[in-house]
Chain A
Amino acid sequence: MSGGLPQRATGQRRRRRIEEDTAVAQPSSHSTPSAAAEATDHLQGQSASFAPDLSLVEHRHAAENGANYEYLDHPADVQLHAWGSTLEVAFEGAALAMYNYMTPLSGLTPDTGLARTFHAEAHDLHSLLFGFLDELLFVFSTELLVCCSLTVTHLDREKWTITAEGQGEKFDRQRHAIGTEIKAITYSAMQIREVPGDAEVFVIVDI
């Protein structure tokens, strides 16, 4: 799988600034997105905000092609881990991580005619993430729309609403690689962590 990521010195933690990194939106349409991400990474490597656990794979080390998400070990389901400079970017990462599990995003060509606005409402931050991903999953289940790029345009922390613009393609079993079906979003071990300049989310989805 991801394989060739270089070893990181102990105490260093991977941080990715991704606003300029379009590779996030289209993981493999760029020839060397991974190298570009690596370069930014080295420049911006910062010391750990908490001690890494040596017996386990360090977080943010399993991302592929410079994406801002990865899949963490879970016995039955899949834990999505996404991060970014802001919470919006981390939410976008979680959304793409979910789509990428259904079908590899690299196989999609965005159809501008299928641009779509998603909207969700909730009563706190966790339920907002839950509601947001549930809305995307619902649209996929009923319209088969898979997004390969997605931007959170509005995230209101007072009214707990979120709006995102997505672009993608209608999933076609003849043309697209068939991944795994995601049944539902869960609150199980859900975490949303924010520090100035960095945000990350952990979501377990049921498959």
Chain B
Amino acid sequence: MGRSFDEEAKFIEQKGVVEYVIRQGFVPNMRVPAHFYVNDKLKHLVFEELQQFCARGDVGGFLPAVKQLCNVAGLPGIVEKSIALPDMHSGYGFAIGNVAAFDMDDPEAVVSPGGVGFDINCGVRLLRTNLTEADVDSKKEELAQALFDHIPVGVGSQGIIPTTAKDLEDALEMGMDWSLREGYAWAEDKEHCEEYGRLLSADPTKVSQRAKKRGLSQMGTLGAGNHYAEIQVVDEIFDKHAARKMGIDRIGQVCLMIHSGSRGLGHQVATDALTQMESAMARDNIATNDRQLACARILSREGQDYLAAMAAAANYAFVNRQSMTFLARQAFAKVFGRSPDDLDMHVVYDVSHNIAKVEEHMVEGKLKRLLVHRKGATRAFPPHHPLIPVDYQLTGQPVLIGGTMGTCSYVLTGTERGMAETFGSTCHGAGRAQSRNKSRNKLGYEQVLEALKTRGIAIRVASPKLVMEEAPESYKDVTAVVDTCHQAGISRKCVKLRPIGVVKG
């Protein structure tokens, strides 16, 4: 604290057209530098956060993303650099949009629940259909209503898929294999999910009763905040070949995007871990710059327990998105009087943007096993990577970028350059630009709904208050975000989608 904005800004240097480096010394104890990617349109948002922080002084306030990024650069075992993607903004502990990798062979290296976030395996799933905008146009309102009726949304909503305590245990262990066994999934659904919809390292016994209690009633619920289910149409195809591989072959084709996570179960797993790790840190003499960065050595009992519980929570999130896929398929079938199969409602892909995973990466010419934390960042593996499905071996992994209510969303593909520069990661969404308070004070409820209506978007929302907070004006321009990643070469644009119906909490 105490440095002026100008003094702080001297630590930040522009390295490429859209890449910036923050030198060590920006915060104490940095082990590696930090890198972030923004283009000229997004740059000011990053610096404004810092400026505000310098002005606020030491009472109240919050840490700007650039500071958080550098606090992460101070964690034991971090490799090469702490990275932030263009949708970066201040979060808790790690910044949102932050990627950091830790060396599995370094006994000091840590895992941090703050690097995963409270919403473990929050992610995005895209379903395609063989419908076109013309088929849906007259039934748009009916379809949005059907989705709203089928999928429980908003605060205090309870799942409608019957789940017993035993079911929950199985779901935590098996992920989408549970959904498949219970008849909520098609066999091919899991082929198109990160990790095939199941993290094998999951251990349900490491998930507290408290977390299970929170998770039991919420299975198959969307949640609130920025979570949504959106009926979208293909607006632009940038890469015909890759899009065709995904079953997307024409402008106007209707898709469905679901953005949700592990609900109360994941939130509680993260909270429990945070509390447990605090004592482990004192024991192992680990010091961090921020208490929210609580962490434990990967090989310690606390570290291992968290990774096993996190994997179980991730499985819960896969099942949750799958349960909603099941419900959405029913809703479509009802409205169009055709079976989901007949509507070709296949999963294009399912990505996780809040997770930590053990992966192999090249570091200074050597193959290393790393624990890669992605918080508000998406894995984006290049063509031919062994961990991506057969269907996408030639195109690279599909990356799903959920835009903001009423703007647009993107499908990108992973690249070799991303593999080399950002541990195979790219952005995850638009990223907030404006605080929730400001959105509520500046924008009116009717105003936002009217704007959506004039753009021909059917909307069903449980809480009007959210409409303002989640208005497009509150977010960064998602197009500027994906363009920055495209320009940096860490992912390629493939398809642009535009919403015609939104369902949210």
Contacts and interface: CB of A to CB of B under 8 A. Distances in A.
Nearest to A55: B55
Q: What are the nearest 9 A-B pairs in CB distance?
A: A188-B92, A181-B224, A73-B435, A186-B92, A178-B463, A181-B155, A184-B118, A188-B292, A187-B291
Given A178-B463, A187-B292, A189-B62, A76 B96 contact: yes
Interface stretch (B142-150, B268-276, B332-340, B342-350): B268-276
22 contacts: A50-B57, A75-B90, A75-B433, A76-B89, A123-B279, A127-B275, A142-B213, A179-B155, A180-B225, A183-B118, A183-B225, A183-B264, A183-B267, A186-B93, A187-B292, A187-B294, A188-B62, A188-B290, A188-B291, A189-B60, A189-B61, A206-B267
A153 interface: no
Nearest to A176: B156
Contacts of A123: 278-279
B465 interface: yes
A43 to B, nearest CB: 24
B302 to A, nearest CB: 15
A102 interface: yes
Given A56-B52, A56-B56, A134-B271, A189 B156 contact: no
Given A178-B156, A184-B118, A75 B49 contact: yes
Interface residues of B, number: 59
Interface string A55-73: 1100100100000000111
Contacts of A50: 57, 59
A53 B214 contact: no
Interface of B: 49, 52, 55-57, 59-63, 89-93, 96, 117-119, 154-157, 210, 213-214, 217-218, 223-225, 264, 267-268, 270-271, 274-275, 278-279, 290-292, 294, 432-438, 440-441, 462-463, 465-466, 469, 505
A73 B271 CA distance: 23
Interface in A115-149: 123, 126-127, 130-131, 134, 138, 141-142, 144
B465 to A, nearest CB: 6
A187 B91 CA distance: 11
Nearest to B436: A78
Nearest to B52: A56
A195 to B, nearest CB: 12
A102 B223 CA distance: 12
B60 A79 contact: yes
Given A56-B55, A77-B92, A131-B275, A179 B435 contact: no
B155 A180 contact: yes
Contact of B268 (A138, A181, A204): A138
A108 to B, nearest CB: 13
B271 A185 contact: yes
Given A62-B437, A206-B267, 20 more contacts: A56-B52, A56-B56, A73-B437, A74-B435, A75-B433, A76-B90, A76-B432, A123-B278, A141-B214, A178-B155, A178-B462, A180-B466, A181-B155, A181-B156, A181-B223, A181-B225, A186-B92, A186-B93, A204-B62, A207-B436
Nearest to B49: A75
A207 B224 CA distance: 8
Which bucket holds chain A's interface residue count?
Answer: 35 or more
A56 B437 CA distance: 13
B113 to A, nearest CB: 10
Given A73-B435, A173-B157, A184 B271 contact: yes
Contacts of A155: none
A178 B224 CA distance: 10
Nearest to A171: B156
Given A181-B225, A206-B118, A72 B469 contact: no
A84 to B, nearest CB: 16
A59 B59 contact: yes
A171 B463 CA distance: 14
Among B63, B119, B437, B440, find the residue whose CB has the most chain A CB atoms closer than 10 A: B437
Interface in A29-54: 50, 53
Nearest to B117: A206
Nearest to A146: B156
Contacts of A206: 92, 117-119, 267
A175 to B, nearest CB: 11
B21 to A, nearest CB: 23
A157 interface: no
